[in-house]
Amino acid sequence: MTDLTADAPAIAQPGAGAADRNPAAPGGGRTVAAAVPPSLVTRLTAGITAAGEPALVETVAPLTGELLAGLPQSTPADVEVAFQLARRAQPAWGALPVRRRAAVLLRFHDLLLKRQDEVLDLIQAETGKARLHAFEEVLAVAMAARHYGRAAHSYLRDKRHGGALPVLTQAIEARRPKGVIGHISPWNYPLELSIGDALPAFAAGNAVVNKPDTQTALTALWARELLVEAGLPADLWQVVIGDGPVIGPAVVEHADYVSFTGSTRTGREVAQRAAARLVGASLELGGKNAMLVLADADLDRAAEGAVRACFSSAGQLCISIERLLVHRSVADEFLARFAARTRALRLGGGLAYGADMGSLVSVRQLDATVRHVEDAVKAGATVVAGGRARPDLGPFFHEPTILDGVTAEMAVCAEETFGPVVSVYRFDTEDEAVTAANSTPYGLNSSVWTKDLRRGRQLAARLRTGTVNVNEGYAAAYGSVSSPMGGMGDSGLGRRHGAEGILRYTEAQTVASQRLVPIAPAFGLDDRQFAAVLTGGLRVLKALRFK
């Protein structure tokens, strides 16, 4: 990356005193034990395809470190059974009119909004995120359910095209379901990433075998239960649980198409396995996303936006911002406002609204975050805000952290942290900012802040990311569910949302009918005369501007 840090003002590292710690949020809400009683675990885990007496794997509630649930593990043989059951159920579902299938999504939308508190508790219990960030998942899923519930019919309906011979050939493009989708999802947005991508697959007439991350399987199972209540035949959505490197490949092995969300490393492996079987795959992978604050940005709005963009779900969000590129003329002023807001964020983990940021999900994520911060500080970076783990709040809490003076040799500069850490860089010209933003193999999301929307949109065309948000961090593009969302470069292949988000789950089939004359010499024409007639015909069609 271009060295944009020259002349960075030395900002004192905050002392270790309690005064500059992020405050604790007020508690409230139910305890994890009350929200996830053994009876609920038993009810939900009945939805896992696992025969006999399966081995149990225990999950821990990140907010408190207490035992959350024992989950039955599927074996590769169970995965095979799941595909058999799904394959048996799919043809009847695929044969229903699209509107009947879409009606299930619309009923699900209403049920989800009505019963959101149940799943907000579950998401918080399994991920440790703040309730507001859990609600973002409800929002995203409801939007996708509404969109595909209303629009699936127009995406999937037969489309007439001009045929080989105008009038005489009629071509219809039809969309057929792929069959059974293998759907592998991570832990960070367990509702959105389990059901959000499954909804268009169902609307398109497919069955789904889903392997959620074990840590967040209860949320996926809850979503399955609710969709069945909304009218989905139960066998259409199979859930298998187990060790990623064992059960994940088994899912890819049987799938007619793979929808994968997770790390770039695992995504490459999934892509290779899918390619070997000649089945398609969409891959939603990692990012090292940049926010550009231009000289004319509204600095208060940009600072507020940066807080949301960097620290939602404690930074465990593929599209969250980990690099802040700020025009030098406004950098100090922006940073002062951003740092003040960051230091004021209330950390906590009650199952209630009120916390601005929750916990990380696991010791693995905490260690990765601490490693990036410590490595950077050792090599000369400055901590502007945060910088510490907060075991006083829960086992995996870490303060929202702003680093300044980060240079290329520090791991945090180019590697995805997937935690609440952002590095600030300064730039003088737009060209410099664009070069820096694009100086990563990833290409998922970016954000541009300016009062001049036209300028923001023009700059977007130079950024190599699948989504660009102007005057917002990520939610504007992600929430625009009729537009595609996904990554360029190492951030993935394919797109969710919009037309691509549903058509990926279909096979295009062209049905062409020929009338009156064959496409061959006829009516006594010999081959030469036939070729001459068609040559003349082609010239006429071009002159008449036929496409």
Among 121, 284, 322, 399, binds ligand NAD (CB under 6 A): 284
- The yes or no reply on residue 286 touching ligand NAD (CB under 6 A) is yes
Structure tokens at 435: 């070069």
Does residue 310 carry a catalytic annotation? no
Window of 61-69, 257-265, 368-376, 398-406 that interacts with ligand NAD by CB under 6 A: 257-265
Q: Which of residues 287 and 395 has its CB atom nearest to ligand NAD in the complex?
A: 287
- The yes or no reply on residue 186 touching ligand NAD (CB under 6 A) is yes
- The yes or no reply on residue 181 touching ligand NAD (CB under 6 A) is no
Over the range 119-134, which residues count as b (16 or more CB within 10 Å of their CB) and which as e? bbbbbbbbbbbbbbbb
By three-state DSSP, how is residue 225 classified? helix
Among 78, 213, 235, 322, binds ligand NAD (CB under 6 A): 213
CA distance 218 to 205: 25
Contact between 321 and 329 (Cβ < 8 Å) = no
Among 155, 418, 425, 449, binds ligand NAD (CB under 6 A): 418
- The yes or no reply on residue 136 touching ligand NAD (CB under 6 A) is no
Query: How many CB atoms are closer than 10 A to CB 183?
Result: 30
Q: Which of residues 415 and 430 has its CB atom nearest to ligand NAD in the complex?
A: 415
Question: Of all helices (H) and strands (E), which one includes residue 423?
Answer: strand 421-427
Name the closest residue to ligand NAD (Cβ): 248
Q: Which of residues 244 and 521 has its CB atom nearest to ligand NAD in the complex?
A: 244
Q: Which residues contact 276 (CB under 8 A, 6 or more apart)?
A: none
The alpha carbon of residue 107 and the mean position of all alpha carbons in its chain are separated, in whole angstroms, by: 23
- The yes or no reply on residue 469 touching ligand NAD (CB under 6 A) is no
Window of 15-23, 72-80, 187-195, 341-349 that interacts with ligand NAD by CB under 6 A: 187-195
Tell me the site size for ligand NAD, rule CB under 6 A: 29
The active-site residue, picked from 318, 322, 413, 416, is: 318
Stretch 486-505 residues interacting with ligand NAD (CB under 6 A): 487, 492
Structure tokens at 411: 């791991």
Question: Of all helices (H) and strands (E), which one includes residue 401?
Answer: strand 401-404
The active-site residue, picked from 126, 284, 399, 416, is: 284
- The yes or no reply on residue 75 touching ligand NAD (CB under 6 A) is no
Contact between 122 and 36 (Cβ < 8 Å) = yes
Q: Which of residues 88 and 268 has its CB atom nearest to ligand NAD in the complex?
A: 268
Over the range 188-204, which residues count as b (16 or more CB within 10 Å of their CB) and which as e? bbbbbbbbbbbbbbbbb
Q: Which residues pair with 170 in a beta bridge?
A: 162, 513
Minimal CA–CA distance to 72: which of 83, 87, 56? 56
- Minimum CB–partner distance for residue 509 and ligand NAD (Å): 29
CA angle 467, 472, 474 (to 5 degrees): 45
Residues annotated catalytic, as ranges: 284, 318
Q: Which residues bind ligand NAD (CB under 6 A)?
A: 184-189, 193, 211, 213, 244-245, 248-249, 261-263, 266, 269-270, 284-287, 318, 416, 418, 444, 487, 492
